[in-house]
A and B are shown apart, each in its own frame.
Chain A
Amino acid sequence: MFDLSLTEEQNALKDVLHDIAQRELRPAARAVEAEGDIGPALRKLLWETGVVAPVPEDLGGPGTVDAVTAVIAAEELAWGDPAIAWGVFAGGAVAILVSLLGTREQQRRLLDPFVEGPGNGSVALAEPSGAATSWMTTTITAAGGSSSLSGTKSLVPDPNPVEACLCVARDGDVLRVVEFDPDLVRVEREGKLGLEGVPTATVVFEEMPVESGTVLDGYDDPRVAEAAVDRCRLLTAAVNVGAARAAAEYAATYATERHAFGRPIGAFQAVSFTVADMAMRADSARLLVWQAASAIDSGNHDSHLTRRACAHAAEAAVANGNDAVQLLGGAGYVFDHPVEKWYRDAQTLAAVDSFDVAGDAASEEVFA
């Protein structure tokens, strides 16, 4: 039965994370951006919440997190700072993929760093032309008795000082998740528009040999792998929802405080209507993200739901980023306020998970 109420646990978690977002992430955001590093203290603090790199209890971790709870968590942290939130979730996605797809041996070997502390993980998922899995060009090819991995990945959390690196690739009709060694691939550090607090790289795989035991294969049904990858994609969508909501709220507050022509600018409908549109974008994106996540939790995973949630959330974050900067005017354009950063962060994520070029257009199945 249709229900939008959070469980008690979800509400409690949301409160805790909101508090962290407000007290820790907002104030740290500009420093993280300038340093190009989230830093060990923040990483540890976020790891301790148990949601960013969840390891199952029987492997010594705090337990797995369902997809709905994960997107609620990601939105809340992203409200504090989209870059920090995206950074920790993009790395922590290793734990999600290995927990869901790895064999027992792979789980023990790869999850250890995430049990001991905020392990550094890297998942190569997005591609230069988009994250839509149906368009994925990174592929595993078998020749003779061995197979190899070729393709290019974008926005890969810097795989250099990292304990576990995974690459999502297409193998015929199915998705596979493969371990890779950063020394065997070309790693090009990215200087980029936004998400500057998270060092990332473009990673080029040129017939990298796929050794036995490095493909996560602790599952039978290929749909399990698709659902696991979609969980990771939905975390990015949830980060966009958090960014969209943050921008909407920030601009609304500003509209009540800033005066022009003798009244708060929010008293002008050109401003107040924009505030209403921003709230609608954030809310509608959240509902689509929850719907896709809820489908995964109830065993009815559908990639189409993920794709449209990602597209809608990316669009909401970019549009709200623009509107927030616009409503703040010159103040929005400078570093005194966070909105220009959120706008750049959103547009960076949209580059590889965009709503039009890579999102809607990839949904060609709507008529094909």
Chain B
Amino acid sequence: MIEFTPSPLARQIQEFAHAFAKDSLRPIARQMDESGQVPEDVLKTLAQLGMGGRAAIPKELGGDEEAGERTSERNLISMIGAEELAWGDAGVVLNIPGPGLAGPAIESAGTPDQIERFLGRFTTDEIRYGAMAITEPQAGSDVSAIETRAVRDGNEWVLKGRKVFCTNGAKADIVVVLATIDRELGRAGHKLFVVEKGTPGFSVGKIEKKMGLRASETAELILDDVRVPMANLLGGEAALDPKGGGFRGTMKTFDATRPGVAALAVGIGRAAFEYARDWSRSELSIATPPARRAAVAALLARCERELAAARLLTWRAAWMADQRIPNTTEASMAKAYGPMVARRACEAAIRIMGGEGYSKEHLVEKWFRDVKVYDIFEGTGQIQRVVISRKILGKLDTAQAA
């Protein structure tokens, strides 16, 4: 039966995450943006919360680590938690200890043994990271254009190539690398390999300087004849079957992560909306020209409703995942819509506040910088529209083109 109120458990987690975001993240957001560092004690708290990708129930709430796995609303709860944390600070969310994007990739493409071997290390309260390396300088949205090669040599694979834009790539214990075993095979030749930190030939290149999300590390990774054992090919020998493989695993990863990325964007957009609303309440007086008040009110109301719609799109996609209903289209809708309207909310907040909007005295300029990338990573807004429209229109014959 249709119902929009989250469960008591979800609401408890929301309150908990909100309090943490408000008390521990928001106050140091500016400092983290400037230093590019997240304080050790904040990371420790985040690690203990077990929020790293698995939406476990905080122990403080009487749950145990597995409770999050058992609940029938695991995905929905991650949406709610993600929005609250991003409301506090988006940069810090990408620093939450845990496997990161490597988690869903290993879970969806790995064998049970690999899941245990590579993800087992993340069950402790230690500060450890995983990372995913897909993008290359010449292959962004077009994942199939990757050139990083994996060549078999006896019981080993030898990887060679260059990966960019890897979140937490430099500090990760393990990195899941997408490489091709045969470029002639196209997507069927794409396989996922787990590379451990310290493997000879595996090094960190440039650390990017960015418009926003400066507290998050974005690294270039260089693979110079890196040798990994056979057992590090995700999915094992079965992955060499042309029908299975890396590309599909990568795309499945996106079904799980895209709504979460959208929820983070909604959290940033909501932060900006609320800030501009509160600023307007205190700064716009009776003396403010009525037309300006009305314009501001309409702009704020539009942001509020678009963010509400975006939130429901992320909840829908997550609810479907929880119900084990295929959600590729809905995940892409959430991802296409959420970052778009969140970015609009941040832009509106700056314009409403005028000179104070761009000032570093307030966080709205930072949110504006942070939110932009949400319409880019994990599939640009354009790629989401490709996914959505293909589902609606079917695969159209383009071969007749002259």
Q: Contacts A262-B402, A366-B277 given: A7-B1 contact, CB under 8 Å?
A: yes
Q: Is B359 an interface residue (CB 8 A)?
A: no
Q: Which of B10, B293, B300, B302 has the most CB of A within 10 A?
A: B302
A311's partner among B300, B305, B336 (CB-CB below 8 A) is: B305
Q: How far is the CB of B210 from chain A (nearest CB, A)?
A: 27
Please give the distance in Å from B328's CB to the nearest CB on chain A: 13
User: A248's closest neighbor in chain B, by CB?
Assistant: B392
Task: List, in ascending order, chain A residues with CB within 8 A of B301's CB.
Answer: 308, 311, 359-364, 366
Residues on A with C-beta less than 8 A from B304 are 308, 363, 366
A367 to B306, CA, bound (A): 16
Q: In the complex, what residues of A have CB within 8 A of residue B397's CB?
A: 263-264, 267
Asked whether any CB of chain A lies closer than 8 Å to the CB of B5, the reply is yes
Is B389 within 8 A of A275, CB to CB?
Answer: yes
Pick the interface stretch among A41-49, A137-145, A169-177, A281-289: A281-289
Consensus secondary structure, chain A interface: helix
Binary contact readout B1-26 vs A (1 if CB under 8 angstroms, 0 otherwise):
11111110010000000000000000
Q: Give a binary string over A246-278; 1 marks a CB under 8 Å from any B CB, 0 the rest.
A: 000000100110000111101101001101110
Chain B nearest CB, measured from A275 CB (Å): 5
Q: Is the C-beta of A4 less than 8 angstroms from some C-beta in chain B?
A: yes
User: How far is A287 from B312 in the complex, measured between Cα atoms in Å?
Assistant: 7
Does the CB pair B297–A366 fall under 8 Å? yes
Most buried by B among A300, A312, A367, A368: A367
Partner pick for A276 among B297, B300, B392, B402, CB 8 A cutoff: B392
Tell which of A256, A264, A273, A368 touches B297, judged by Cβ atoms closer than 8 Å: A368
User: Which residues, 1 to 56 on A, are CB-close (under 8 Å) to B?
Assistant: 1-7, 10
Q: Does B319 contact A (CB under 8 A)?
A: yes
Distance in angstroms from B369 CB to nearest chain A CB is 24
Residues of B close to A287: CB separation below 8 A: 309, 312-313, 316
**Cβ–Cβ < 8 Å partners of A255 in chain B:** 393
Is B337's beta carbon under 8 Å from chain A?
yes
Interface size class of B (residues with CB under 8 A): 35 or more
B46 interface contact, C-beta 8 A: no
B334 to chain A, nearest CB (A): 9
The answer to whether B2 and A284 touch across the interface, beta carbons within 8 angstroms, is no
Q: How far is the CA of A294 from the CA of B10 in the complex (A)?
A: 19
Q: Are A360 and B1 in contact (CB under 8 A)?
A: no
A residues near B319, Cβ cutoff 8 Å: 2-4
Q: Which of B29-37, B107-115, B241-249, B380-388 touches A?
A: B380-388
With CB as the reference atom, state the residue of chain A lying closest to B6: A2
Q: Give the complex CA separation of A290 and B309 in angstroms.
A: 11
Q: Is the CB of B396 within 8 A of A4?
A: no
Tell whether A368 pairs with B396 under 8 Å between CB atoms, given A266-B389, A294-B4, A356-B298.
no
A273–B389 CB distance below 8 A:
yes
B333 within 8 A of A: yes
Tell whether A262 pairs with B310 under 8 Å between CB atoms, given A363-B297, A364-B297, A368-B281: no
Q: Please, how many angstroms separate the alpha-carbon atoms of A359 and B305 in the complex?
A: 11
Give A291-319 as 1s and 0s: 1 = Cβ < 8 Å from B's Cβ atoms: 10011001010000000100110000000
Judged by a CB distance under 8 angstroms, whether A95 is at the interface is no
A359→B247 CA distance, assembly (Å): 45
Asked whether, in the complex, the Cβ of A288 is within 8 Å of the Cβ of B309, the reply is yes
Q: How far is the CB of A63 from chain B (nearest CB, A)?
A: 17
**How long is the Cα–Cα vector from A10 to B386 in the complex, in angstroms?**
32
Given contacts A275-B389, A288-B305, A361-B301, contact A280 B336 (CB under 8 A): yes
Please determine whether A279 and B388 come into contact, CB atoms closer than 8 angstroms: yes
Contact check: which of A252, A276, A361 meets B385 at CB < 8 Å? Answer: A276
CA distance A1 to B74 in the complex (A): 12
Q: What interface size band does chain A fall in?
A: 35 or more
A300 to B398, CA, bound (A): 51
In the bound assembly, the distance between CA atoms of A366 and B5 in angstroms comes to 21
Complex-state Cα separation, A296 to B323, whole angstroms: 26
Chain B positions 64-104 with a Cβ under 8 Å from a chain A Cβ: 73, 76
A360 touches B6 (CB 8 A): no
**How far apart are the CA atoms of A10 and B3 in the complex, in Å?**
14
Query: Are A2 and B7 also in contact (CB < 8 A) when A280-B333, A284-B337 are?
Result: yes
**B400, CB-defined interface residue at 8 Å:** yes
For residue A68, CB closer than 8 A to chain B, the reply is yes
Taking CB as reference atom, which chain A residue is nearest B315? A2
B308 within 8 A of A: yes
User: Are B298 and A361 within 8 A (Cβ)?
Assistant: yes
Could you tell me if A361 and B297 are in contact, using CB atoms closer than 8 angstroms? yes
Q: Is B6 within 8 A of A364, CB to CB?
A: no
Q: Which residue of B lies closest to A264 (CB)?
A: B396
User: Is the CB–CB distance between A256 and B305 below 8 Å?
Assistant: no
Q: How far is the CA of A363 from the CA of B396 in the complex (A)?
A: 43
Which B residues lie within 8 Å of A363 (CB)? 297-298, 300-301, 304
Write the chain A residue with the least CB distance to B295.
Answer: A361
Give 22 A-B contacts (CB < 8 Å), ordered by A residue.
A1-B3, A1-B6, A2-B5, A2-B6, A2-B76, A5-B323, A7-B1, A10-B2, A256-B393, A263-B400, A275-B388, A280-B333, A284-B313, A285-B309, A291-B312, A295-B4, A298-B3, A308-B304, A311-B305, A312-B309, A360-B297, A367-B284
| Interface residues in chain B, defined as those with a beta carbon under 8 Å from any beta carbon in chain A | 1-7, 10, 73, 76, 277, 280-281, 284, 293-294, 296-302, 304-306, 308-310, 312-313, 315-316, 319, 323, 330, 333, 336-337, 382, 384-386, 388-390, 392-394, 396-398, 400-402
Identify 18 new A-B residue pairs, CB closer than 8 A, beyond the known A6-B1, A269-B385, A287-B313: A1-B73, A2-B319, A4-B2, A7-B1, A264-B396, A264-B397, A276-B385, A276-B389, A277-B385, A280-B313, A287-B309, A290-B4, A308-B304, A361-B297, A364-B301, A366-B301, A367-B297, A368-B297
- The 7 A-B pairs with the shortest beta carbon distances in the complex, nearest first, are A363-B301, A272-B389, A360-B301, A284-B309, A308-B305, A276-B388, A287-B312
